[in-house]
A = this chain, B = another copy of it.
Amino acid sequence: MRRVILCVAALASSLTAFAGDQGRFWKQPLVDLTHALESTMPQYSEGHPFFLQKISDYDDGYLSYGFCIAEHVGTHVDAPRHFWRSGKSVDRITLEELTGRAVVINVVEESRRNSDYELTLDDLRSWEKRFGPIKRNSIVVLRTGWESKWYRPREFLNKDKSGTMHWPGFSCDVVDYLAHNRAVRALGTDTLSIDPGRSASFCAHKILLKTNKYAIEGLTNLEKLPPQGATIVVSPLKVAGGSGAPARVFALIP
**Bound state CA distance, A236 and B72, in angstroms?**
17
A69 within 8 A of B: yes
Q: Which residues of B contact A66 (CB under 8 A)?
A: 48, 68-71
Interface size grouping (class) on chain A: 35 or more
Main secondary structure of the interface of A (DSSP, over half): mixed
Q: Which residues from chain A sit less than 8 Å from chain B, CB to CB?
A: 4, 7-8, 11-12, 14-15, 18-19, 21, 23-26, 30, 32, 34-38, 45, 48, 52, 55-56, 58, 61-72, 74-75, 81-83, 85, 91, 95-96, 99-101, 135-137, 202, 205, 231, 233, 235-244, 246-248, 250
What are 16 sample pairs from A and B whose C-beta atoms fall under 8 A apart? A7-B18, A7-B19, A11-B12, A25-B96, A30-B96, A37-B237, A37-B238, A45-B55, A52-B241, A58-B83, A61-B202, A64-B243, A68-B68, A69-B69, A236-B248, A248-B248
- Bound-state CA distance A72–B61 (Å) is 14
Complex CA distance for A7 and B74, rounded to whole angstroms: 36
A239 and B37 within 8 A (CB)? yes
**Given the contacts A8-B12, A36-B239, A237-B237, A64 and B21 also touching, CB distance less than 8 Å:** no
Task: Compute how far the CA of A221 lies from the CA of B100 in the bound complex, rounded to whole angstroms.
Answer: 24
Q: Is there an interface contact between B239 and A95, defined as CB atoms closer than 8 Å?
A: no
Copies in the complex: 2
Shortest CB-to-CB span from A52 to chain B, Å, is 7
B62 A83 Cβ-Cβ under 8 A? yes
Are B58's CB and A85's CB within 8 A?
yes
8 Å CB contact of A246 from B24, B82, B237: B237
| Residues in B neighbouring A65, C-beta threshold 8 A | 70-71, 239, 242-243
Q: Is the beta-carbon distance between B67 and A239 smaller than 8 angstroms? A: yes
Asked whether A68 and B67 contact (CB < 8 A) given A55-B48, A95-B30, the answer is yes
Contact partner of A238 among B34, B69, B99, B205, CB < 8 A?
B34
CA distance A18 to B83 in the complex (A): 30
A4 to B21, CA, bound (A): 11
